[in-house]
A = this chain, B = another copy of it.
Amino acid sequence: MKKIGIGIIGMGRIGKIHAENLLRLPGANVVSVCDLYAGDELRSWAAERGIPHVTCDSADVLARPDVDAVFICSPTDTHVPLIRQAAQAGKHIFCEKPVSMDVHDTITALEAVARAGVKLQIGFNRRFDRNFRTVKANISGGTIGRLHLLKITSRDPAPPSEAYIRSSGGMFMDMTIHDFDMARFLAASEVEEVYAQGGVLIDPVFGKYGDTDTAVVVLRFENGAFGVIDNSRRAVYGYDQRVEAFGAEGCVTADNEYPNTVRTMSAGGVFRAKPLYFFLERYQDAYFEEVREFVECLAENRPVPVDGRDGLQAERIALAAKMSFQQKRPVHLKEVPAWPT
């Protein structure tokens, strides 16, 4: 079987994670890595792993005939131009979320992808988490009957830097977008209306940029079910990632993951260690799995599990949430630009 040749654009933390996972896949061949600041460190990192080509110029990657697909792991503002160039070059694309901060731009990128007939997968890694997958299987398998309510808790262990906050696009676009995707994934229905509440309870720096650090979002799905998402930028006990789906015939929950199963009992009480620290620990397997499935879909010419429309819809919901928060009213998804049909 021919190996899929991969080029990676953007070799920060997430670019390297994808690279390591791709290196474990017998069906993939990492042939080129690109970073604007590629230097000796990246070169020796690549050499140790047998990656033959390192460049500062993404055009080099796209020009290589041995590159079948590119991973776009560079800053968000580069996603749309890179998607368009990659599509034009006939490369399949794996792009980190969000595609862009602007729904119109995202639509432009998706149109380029559609024209080129290449595949585009968005990096919503949580869909590949073993727990959420099992929740999904329970819902679609009928365990809880018709869905009535979906609850998603998503809290980070520590806030990002001020630099990150400034260019993040705000909590809804940067953080809640994962939960919007999870909501659509689990509910198997589109979001119809959004109501978002938010506040600055952790650090005034969020307020400085008109952003929030704590939020509650209520969703109404087209199938009549409701959704509630709660977010915090700082849960001191670690990454808190849980879902609960309640329906006519029952309820299914996915709890956090822990570093071990050990409990101690002493005169002070019963104790266990706090949950896994952050997304790298919690979603380690999910990161591998999303990349494995992407490569498999290319090899077998199947549709990718999270496509461009999934990316667009999550962005639209994020935008509606932002509008709701700013205008202090529920916002219907129809108020947000959509893919032309």
Contacts and interface: CB of A to CB of B under 8 A. Distances in A.
Interface of A: 26, 48, 130-131, 134-135, 138, 143-144, 146, 148-149, 151, 155, 195, 197, 199, 201-202, 214, 216, 218, 220, 224-226, 228, 230, 232, 234-237, 240, 246, 248-257, 259-275, 328-330
Contacts of A271: 269-271
Nearest to A231: B149
Contact of A216 (B201, B224, B228, B237): B228
Nearest to A274: B269
Contacts of A267: 236-237, 249-250, 274
A321 B15 CA distance: 47
30 contacts: A26-B48, A134-B273, A143-B266, A144-B266, A146-B201, A149-B230, A151-B230, A199-B224, A214-B226, A216-B228, A226-B230, A237-B251, A237-B267, A249-B267, A250-B266, A251-B264, A252-B262, A252-B264, A254-B260, A254-B261, A255-B261, A257-B261, A265-B274, A265-B275, A267-B274, A269-B271, A270-B272, A270-B275, A329-B329, A329-B330
Contacts of A234: 248
A138 B264 contact: yes
| A146, A220, A235, A251, most chain B CB atoms within 10 A | A251
Contact of A135 (B26, B48, B143, B262): B262
A201 B230 contact: no
A238 to B, nearest CB: 8
A275 B240 CA distance: 23
Nearest to A215: B226
A270 B218 CA distance: 27
A201 B138 CA distance: 19
A316 to B, nearest CB: 19
Contacts of A138: 262, 264
| A232, A259, A261, A269, most chain B CB atoms within 10 A | A261
Nearest to A253: B263
Contacts of A146: 201
A26 B216 CA distance: 46
B265 A251 contact: yes
Nearest to A268: B274
A264 B200 CA distance: 23
A267 B259 CA distance: 14
